[in-house]
Chains A and B, each alone.
Chain A
Amino acid sequence: RKEVEQDPGPFNVPEGATVAFNCTYSNSASQSFFWYRQDCRKEPKLLMSVYSSGNEDGRFTAQLNRASQYISLLIRDSKLSDSATYLCVVPGGSYIPTFGRGTSLIVHP
């Protein structure tokens, strides 16, 4: 099993839709989790941190399920500007940030 796994997508949704991505991880000792957003040809930027059961920031909600070892990202009322790749990051051995492959989201009019 890979350390961090994500469905690469793409997820193609209309504006206003609600979309959810999942990320599974193998390191059961991980204490914190991160969602990054990466625009085309740019560096990843932190979107949300998840330290306990979940976190909410406006239209974005991240949830953690430790028993099943996955985290999810929910985006409500999708905007065109939400189109990007969403990377799941889990600290691995020596707390090295370990990335999933990323999930591509395309929001269309």
Chain B
Amino acid sequence: DGGITQSPKYLFRKEGQNVTLSCEQNLNHDAMYWYRQDPGQGLRLIYYSQIVNDFQKGDIAEGYSVSREKKESFPLTVTSAQKNPTAFYLCASRPNVGFKWGNTEAFFGQGTRLTVV
């Protein structure tokens, strides 16, 4: 079955440590997104990528980094510069960009819950 997979489901980070969250999709989608969700809040965009080897900052990119070396993969690194990383991280993908596909829904992975210890 096609889908989008995030791992790990739970992640614990020590102060000053970098951690990487994995996001893999086999839906052949061009566009991929990382969101952060805090308790009682909506989803805020961290980074997005519309094509391989290209990505753009979202609204809250500080303290995060991404790469898009393969169409299927869009890992997110939470760096030590992110002062408040405890949150629920969601990865999503959409088929394509442009008007024809711009109005399609996003598909989500199951999320990674990151906690600073």
Binding site for B on A (CB under 8 A): 6, 8, 31-32, 34, 41-46, 49, 51, 87, 89, 91, 94-102
Knowing A41-B88, A42-B111, A43-B111 touch, does A97 contact B106 (C-beta < 8 A)? yes
Separation in Å of the B57 CB from the closest CB of chain A?
12
Interface mask (B74-117 → A, CB under 8 Å = 1, otherwise 0): 00000000000000101010100110011111101111010000
Residue of B nearest to A48 (CB): B105
A41, B94: Cα distance in complex, Å: 22
**Interface residues of B toward A: which range?**
20 to 34
Known: A6-B42, A97-B33. 20 other contacts (CB 8 A): A32-B104, A43-B109, A43-B111, A44-B43, A49-B105, A87-B43, A89-B105, A94-B48, A95-B31, A95-B97, A96-B33, A96-B45, A96-B48, A97-B92, A97-B94, A97-B106, A99-B42, A99-B43, A100-B42, A102-B42
On chain B, the residues within 8 Å of A100 by CB distance are 42
Q: List the B residue with the shortest CB-CB distance to A92.
A: B45
Question: Looking at the complex, which one of A32, A87, A101, A102 makes contact with B103 (CB distance below 8 Å)?
Answer: A32
In the complex the two chains form, is A95's CB within 8 Å of B94's CB? yes
